[in-house]
Amino acid sequence: MGIKNGDLIKWISHHNSFEASPDTVVGIDPVYRFGIVLEVSNVKTSAIVAHCFDCKNSRLVILDTDYDYVELVSENNNG
């Protein structure tokens, strides 16, 4: 994934409800958060720091695209 500084992203913060089967529990009705990428790690490029627009408790979040569902909404084209 080519996420870079200044990109607008969204990620799944949590799920409003879950479905259970005899073997697994799966989240349904995901809740998304939106933010701007501030930093992408040089050591592990899947690790990013973003400024969250609609988070209540924290403004900076650390995400890892290896574990978190992160989607690029809009690219930064200003260089």
The overall pTM is greater than 0.75: yes
What integer pLDDT is reported at residue 78 of this predicted model?
76
Per-residue model confidence (pLDDT) at position 62: 94
What is the CB neighbour count within 10 angstroms for residue 49?
A: 15
Domains of the chain: 8-74 (2.30.30)
Q: How high is the pLDDT of residue 79?
A: 58
Q: What is the pLDDT of residues 53-64, one digit of tens each?
A: 988 887 999 999
Please work out, in degrees rounded to the nearest 5, the angle formed at the alpha carbon of residue 69 by the alpha carbons of 66 and 70.
Answer: 95
Exposed (0-12), middle (13-18) or buried (19+): which is 12, by Cβ within 10 Å?
middle
| Alpha carbons 34 and 52: distance in angstroms, whole number | 6
* pLDDT, tens only, 6-47: 999 999 999 999 999 999 999 999 999 999 999 999 999 899
Check residue 68 and report its DSSP letter.
S
Higher pLDDT, 2 or 29: 29
